[in-house]
Amino acid sequence: MRLKDKIALITGVSSGIGMETAILFAKEGAKIIGVDMNDQAGKKIIEQINIAGGTAAYFHADVSQASETKAMVGFAEETYGALHILFNNAGIMHGDDGDAMSTEESIFDLTMAVNVKGVFFGCKYGIPALQRAGGGSIINTASFVALLGAATPQLAYTASKGAVLSMTRELAVTHARENIRVNALCPGPLRTELLMKFLNSEEKRQRRLVHIPMGRFGKAKEMAKSALFLASDESSYMTGTEFLVDGGITAAYVTPS
Ligand code: NAD
């Protein structure tokens, strides 16, 4: 088992990447604290993990709220005694996010609050817990759009993921000598609720698919496997990376510097 006796907190556990990661990490021996705002779905996933013989607990938190993220880290330490893996994964892509002219200030602010402040708060309260545990691994979910402009405008989302990637690099450098690794998982376009709601017509989906060399959307399960690598000691010499899992999209479009 690759995460035996590790304690892992995963935000956005009720759906998509967070859900698949919680299931996989539990199979690999980790104790899971699953965090989300969608309590019904989240509690169901945690229950499934426990029924399957894993160890997991659910905690309700809105990651854009400092007090709630502080409480989720406190809950992890109280419940399982420590925290070793922090997966700051919860994120939103709002249906009204568009180009600079069409995106309302309120949509921009909301996107930044969840996607950027959510990661900041996770680290603000999570890093002291990792320090108390003697080190650990932080994974922040960014996106391929932190590196490329998206074909379908989503300005607030793109800006937020750029911030997540920059923050990850600085955190990695700051905490490198504390046995704390910090990496950004940069998924390509996935067939999850988040993206399918946004690309809500076949035309929009095809427009995105044209750019993916593999010719298909990725799966949440494929992101969970990547998160497992970043969480485990197999990636022990990796920190501050933009870990791209994108079906080849950046290989096709990023020009070498
Ligand atoms: P998803 O919508 O399936 O899951 C996101 C989860 O986060 C949901 O359970 C939701 O309830 C939760 N959440 C939203 N706001 C929250 C908040 N304020 N506090 C706590 N929980 C909250 O989406 P997903 O595809 O699994 O996305 C996970 C991460 O991956 C996100 O950060 C997303 O931006 C990123 N990502 C997704 C794609 C994609 O194509 N789906 C691509 C690149 C990056």
Instruction: Summarize pLDDT for 52-78 with one digit per residue, the tens.
Output: 999 999 999 999 999 999 999 999 999
Q: 257: CA distance to ligand 1 center in Å?
A: 31
Q: Is there a domain that residue 97 lies in? A: yes
E strand residue ranges, the chain: 7-11, 31-36, 55-60, 85-88, 136-141, 180-187, 242-245
* pLDDT value for 255: 58
pLDDT in tens, 186-206: 999 999 888 888 888 988 888
Ligand 1 binding pocket (C-beta < 6 A) is 11-12, 14-18, 36-38, 62-64, 89-93, 114, 141, 143, 187, 189-190, 192-195, 220
Nearest CA, atom 6, ligand 1: 12
Q: Is there a domain that residue 105 lies in? A: yes
Q: Is there a domain that residue 194 lies in? A: no
Provide the mean pLDDT of the chain. 96
* pLDDT value for 151: 76
* Contacts with 109 (C-beta within 8 Å, 6 or more apart), sequence order: none
CA 58 to chain centre: 17
* pLDDT value for 254: 58
Nearest CA, atom 18, ligand 1: 62
Q: 194: CA distance to ligand 1 center in Å?
A: 6
Q: Is there a domain that residue 93 lies in? A: yes
Q: 173: CA distance to ligand 1 center in Å?
A: 26
Least confident span in 8-22, 73-87, 199-213, 221-235? 199-213
Q: Which residues are catalytic?
A: 157
* pLDDT value for 46: 98
The Cβ of residue 105 has, within 10 Å, a number of other Cβ atoms equal to 8
* pLDDT value for 152: 83
Percent of the chain scored above 90 by pLDDT?
Answer: 88
| Higher-pLDDT residue of 193, 6 | 6
Q: Is there a domain that residue 253 lies in? A: no
Mean pLDDT computed over 207-217: 91
- The model's pTM: 0.97
Q: Is there a domain that residue 15 lies in? A: yes
Mean pLDDT computed over 166-187: 98
Q: Is there a domain that residue 76 lies in? A: yes
* pLDDT value for 104: 98
Return the SS3 of 184: strand
pLDDT in tens, 119-163: 999 999 999 999 999 999 999 999 999 999 987 899 999 999 999
The ligand 1 atom nearest the CA atom of 220: 26
Question: Any idea what the CATH number is for the domain that residue 233 is in?
Answer: 3.40.50.720
Q: In this structure, which amino acid lies at residue 117? A: K
> Are 13 and 39 in contact, with CB atoms under 8 Å apart?
no
Q: Give the closest residue to 85 by CA, choosing from 245, 236, 230, 240.
A: 230
Q: How many domains does the chain have?
A: 1
The ligand 1 atom nearest the CA atom of 114: 18
Q: Is there a domain that residue 174 lies in? A: yes
Structural domain for 66, as ranges: 7-189+219-243
